[in-house]
């Protein structure tokens, strides 16, 4: 354990936490003067307070972002934007342990996972730093007497509404391409995890970002998120969160004809063929459902398994579950707490429903607590076997450490089960047969398919869902196009001939 993690675990908090909105390059109390608290899910205790914003704070942040958009930010060349983003990546890496410990305390995840998230945030800034001066337009052949070209312009002020499960990496994957494109930002982190989006403000300022280009307003979805996404000054909303909220964000944005990207939920299948390396598949899926206690939109929430391999898979998987340590995130266990009492209640409700329905619970199935303290909001890593397509636990996103096992007999049935929910975010495929792998990749409805390694890829790969999993793609150069709009210019260059 690092010294910072150890002292934080001992004291229950840490000094130097930001607590106010970041607007126009400085810290500001909420206009109303109100505050709210952030809780450590590993102990269930409040450890920090922060500004509880409302529409007045949103207005101040949008005003600052609009002024920066038409003023100081526009005067900065794309190559200089790239240098600012690259310095941001370096500064995040230099402060990585502080970021990781804050993230761990705020959202509960094991500090080792938080370190990976912080590294991926740095990598997002590094990746888009290189893209600032490369998203050029086209010249279009109209004929000898014309010059026609297209220009990629920044869309304007962008709003970023962020959930509590991957706060810093989700913030970075939206903010870095927006800044790279020349846009300005108002970010609204989740009320459960406001801190790392605020830390990023100081880092960006240190890296040389002009005041007003990145702003953060903290508070609830109703009091800050809703006025932000319905503000007429916002040109694009990047929303990550639940389907229900995503729908209301889209409706609010539509009233101003504001574009949206929606990264919503998932109930992703990992299709395991009997010809694959079952040991590798079991180890991968263990990580892909129990990372962040299953609170991952792209978790491998369903194993769709060829019946011939079901028993072997379950043996290996359950043996893996028995090795998982559970505890406070700062002790860096394999499984940490879930983020809130609400989330714990939701998971418990789904599992109790399955139990009442007669579903076989192979392992886990109950709430628990930190074995060292008896505190915190924990749920045991759980496996539900022979789950039917129509079962509530198969159709809904539980967003917790609960794996559903769904056997199949032939590949058509595998595809039918994989595609049997309203979600279509990602999918895993495990097979040693090249043709089967690509047939499944073709036939499974998903924004991203991983073959023989769940979560293969990084910021370079476009990510997003189909159907109820969302609209649009983030990450990759595709993700930067959300923040650019094309202007076409067509000019006559020589006088018109008169006859
Ligand atoms: P949520 O929709 O309740 O909240 C997400 C964010 O939206 C928070 O910042 C919240 O304050 C804000 N918000 C709430 N109401 C709002 C409103 N009316 N207008 C504007 N903003 C509002 O979701 P949650 O419970 O915090 O997060 C869990 C959900 O997010 C899960 O369903 C999960 O799958 C999804 N998620 C998806 C991805 C992805 O990339 N696809 C990533 C992480 C989480």
Question: Quick one: DSSP state of residue 49?
Answer: E
Residue 232 confidence (pLDDT)? 98
| CATH code for the domain defined by 269-457 | 3.40.309.10
CA of 429 to the centre of ligand 1 (A): 28
Rounded to the nearest 10 degrees, how much is the dihedral formed by the CA atoms of 286, 287, 290, 291? 180
| Closest approach atom of ligand 1 to CA 188 | 9
Residue 234 confidence (pLDDT)? 98
Q: How many CA atoms lie within 13 A of 288 on its CB side?
A: 29
| Closest approach atom of ligand 1 to CA 465 | 41
Q: Where are the domains of the chain?
A: 2-264, 269-457
| Closest approach atom of ligand 1 to CA 243 | 32
CA of 162 to the centre of ligand 1 (A): 7
User: In 3D, which of 458, 469, 426 has the Cα closest to residue 173?
Assistant: 458
Q: How many CA atoms lie within 13 A of 79 on its CB side?
A: 0
Q: Which of 108, 163, 350, 424 to mutate to test the pocket of ligand 1 (most atoms within 8 A of CB)?
A: 163
Strand pairing class (423-424; 466-467): antiparallel
The pLDDT profile of the chain, 499 residues, written as one tens digit per residue, is 899 999 999 999 999 999 999 999 999 999 999 999 999 999 999 999 999 999 999 999 999 999 999 989 999 999 999 999 999 999 999 999 999 999 999 999 999 999 999 999 999 999 999 999 999 999 999 999 999 999 999 999 999 999 999 999 999 999 999 999 999 999 999 999 999 999 999 999 999 999 999 999 999 999 999 999 999 999 999 999 999 999 999 999 999 999 999 999 999 999 999 999 999 999 999 999 999 999 999 999 999 999 999 999 999 999 999 999 999 999 999 999 999 999 999 999 999 999 999 999 999 999 999 999 999 999 999 999 999 999 999 999 999 999 999 999 999 999 999 999 999 999 999 999 999 999 999 999 999 999 999 999 999 999 999 999 999 999 999 999 999 999 999 999 999 877 6
Catalytic residue of the set 126, 223, 263, 397: 263
CB-count exposure of residue 19 (10 Å: 0-12, 13-18, 19+) = middle
CA distance 102 to 96: 10
The pTM of this model reads: 0.97
CA of 242 to the centre of ligand 1 (A): 4
User: In 3D, which of 445, 402, 437, 457 has the Cα closest to residue 420?
Assistant: 445
CA of 167 to the centre of ligand 1 (A): 11
Catalytic residue of the set 104, 107, 276, 297: 297
Q: Which fold has domain 2-264?
A: Aldehyde Dehydrogenase; Chain A, domain 1 (3.40.605)
* 404 noted as active-site residue: no
Residue 200 confidence (pLDDT)? 98
Q: Which of 174, 238, 242 to mutate to test the pocket of ligand 1 (most atoms within 8 A of CB)?
A: 242
Q: Is residue 5 within 8 Å of residue 111, measured between CB atoms?
A: yes
* Pocket (CB within 6 angstroms of ligand 1): 161-166, 188, 190-191, 220-222, 225-226, 229, 240-242, 245, 248-249, 263-266, 297, 397, 399, 425, 470
Q: Which of 241, 258, 300, 344 to mutate to test the pocket of ligand 1 (most atoms within 8 A of CB)?
A: 241
Kindly report the protein residue whose alpha carbon is nearest to atom 36 of ligand 1: 241
| Closest approach atom of ligand 1 to CA 425 | 41
User: In 3D, which of 359, 358, 398, 384 has the Cα closest to residue 303?
Assistant: 384
| Closest approach atom of ligand 1 to CA 469 | 41
* 183 noted as active-site residue: no
Residue 496 confidence (pLDDT)? 87
């Amino acid at each position: 354990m690092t010294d910072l993690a150890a002292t934080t675990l001992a004291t229950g908090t840490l000094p130097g936490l930001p607590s106010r909105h970041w607007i126009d390059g400085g810290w500001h109390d909420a206009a109303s003067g109100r505050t709210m608290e952030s809780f450590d899910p590993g102990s269930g205790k409040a450890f920090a307070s922060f500004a509880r914003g409302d529409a007045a704070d949103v207005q101040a942040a949008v005003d600052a972002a609009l002024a920066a958009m038409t003023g100081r930010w526009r005067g900065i060349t794309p190559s200089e934007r790239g240098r600012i983003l690259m310095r941001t990546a370096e500064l995040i890496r230099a402060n990585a342990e502080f970021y990781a410990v804050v993230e761990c305390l705020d959202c509960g995840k094991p500090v080792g996972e938080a370190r990976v998230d912080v590294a991926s945030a740095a990598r997002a800034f590094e990746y888009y730093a290189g893209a600032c001066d490369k998203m050029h337009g086209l010249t279009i052949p109209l004929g000898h007497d014309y010059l026609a070209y297209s220009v990629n312009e920044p869309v304007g002020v962008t709003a970023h509404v962020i959930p509590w499960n991957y706060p810093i990496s989700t913030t970075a994957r939206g903010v870095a391409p927006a800044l790279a494109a020349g846009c300005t930002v108002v970010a609204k982190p989740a009320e459960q995890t406001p801190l790392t989006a605020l830390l990023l403000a100081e880092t960006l300022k240190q890296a040389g970002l002009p005041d007003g280009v990145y702003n953060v307003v903290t508070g609830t979805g109703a009091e800050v998120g809703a006025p932000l996404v319905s503000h007429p000054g916002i040109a694009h909303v990047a929303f990550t969160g639940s389907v229900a909220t995503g729908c209301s964000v889209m409706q609010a944005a539509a009233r101003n004809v504001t574009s949206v990207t929606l990264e919503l939920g998932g109930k992703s299948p990992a299709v395991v063929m009997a010809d694959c390396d079952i040991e590798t598949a079991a180890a991968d899926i263990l990580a892909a459902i129990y990372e962040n206690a299953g609170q991952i939109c792209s978790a491998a929430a369903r194993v769709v398994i060829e019946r011939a391999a079901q028993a072997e898979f379950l043996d290996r998987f359950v043996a893996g579950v028995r090795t998982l340590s559970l505890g406070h995130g700062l002790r860096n266990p394999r499984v940490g707490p879930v983020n809130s009492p609400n989330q714990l209640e939701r998971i418990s409700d789904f599992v109790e429903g399955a139990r009442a329905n007669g579903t076989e619970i192979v392992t886990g199935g109950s709430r628990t607590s930190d074995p060292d303290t008896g505190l915190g909001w924990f749920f045991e890593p759980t496996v539900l076997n022979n789950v039917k397509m129509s079962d509530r636990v198969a159709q809904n996103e539980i967003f917790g450490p609960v794996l559903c096992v769904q056997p199949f007999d032939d590949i058509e049935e595998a595809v039918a089960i994989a595609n049997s929910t309203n979600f279509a975010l990602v999918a895993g495929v495990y097979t040693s047969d090249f043709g089967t792998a690509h047939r499944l990749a073709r036939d499974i409805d998903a924004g991203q398919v991983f073959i023989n390694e769940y979560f293969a890829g990084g910021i370079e790969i476009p990510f997003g869902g189909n159907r109820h999993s969302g609209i649009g793609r983030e990450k990759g150069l595709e993700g930067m196009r959300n923040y650019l709009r094309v202007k076409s210019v067509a000019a006559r260059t020589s006088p018109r001939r008169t006859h």
